[in-house]
Amino acid sequence: MKRVTFHNSRNLTLAGNLYSSSAKSIIIMCHGFTSDKSSRGRFDQLANSFQRSGYSVLVFDFSGCGESDDDRLTLAKWVDDLRSAISFVTSMGYARIALYGNSLGSTVCLQCYTPQISTMVLTGALTGPMKYDWDEYFTKEQMQELREKGHITVRRGNRSVMVDRQMLLDFELINQEKLRKMYTARY
């Protein structure tokens, strides 16, 4: 495994781990909401297994998460980050690209699909609108911060992740029919 960095269109540095193999095929793994490239060790195990099976793998932190540059989380920014990851691996000569998305990462994968993508594996797929009562997930102080500052600060290990108000709205705005049309129009 080799640590790598690349930039998104906003010139933020995204951090990742590249598990190389001799194949010209690569799997890009996309973590879920407020997580990181390790996904509590699950992505590490999967990346190692994929590599042993002959695939190269890129796991990376979306902007605002893990070791990538700070940013407020929104779905649009994550889509930009994945497009940047696809460009990064393409520039390294990978000809066949697969996407592996977990939870919110699955929605990002669907929004980034192009014929260049050979396949997608989506776990815990978020393919339609989700209406959450955010008061059940965040503290009163965090909800107050949202009202006053437009974001919520979530502690993940030694890192603060800033969840933009838009990201919380993004969960409700996922349009299943639009995702289906995007995918089938490109397929």
> Quick check: is 162 in a domain?
no
- Asked whether residue 138 is domain-assigned, the answer is no
8 domain-assigned: yes
Answer yes or no: is 121 within a domain: yes
Contact predicate 145/153, CB 8 Å: yes
- pLDDT (tens digit, 9 = 90+) per residue, 137-181? 999 999 999 999 999 999 988 899 999 999 999 999 988 888 777
Mean pLDDT of 21-43: 95
Query: What is the CATH classification number for the domain harbouring 12?
Result: 3.40.50.1820
pLDDT digits (tens, 9 = 90+) for 87-125: 999 999 998 999 999 999 999 999 999 889 999 999 998
Is residue 133 in some structural domain? no
Domain containing 119 equals 2-128+174-186
**Is 155 a domain residue?**
no
Are residues 102 and 123 in contact, defined by beta-carbon separation less than 8 angstroms? yes
Domain contains 159: no
Q: How many helices (H) and strands (E) does the chain have?
A: 6, 9
Residue 79 lies in a domain: yes
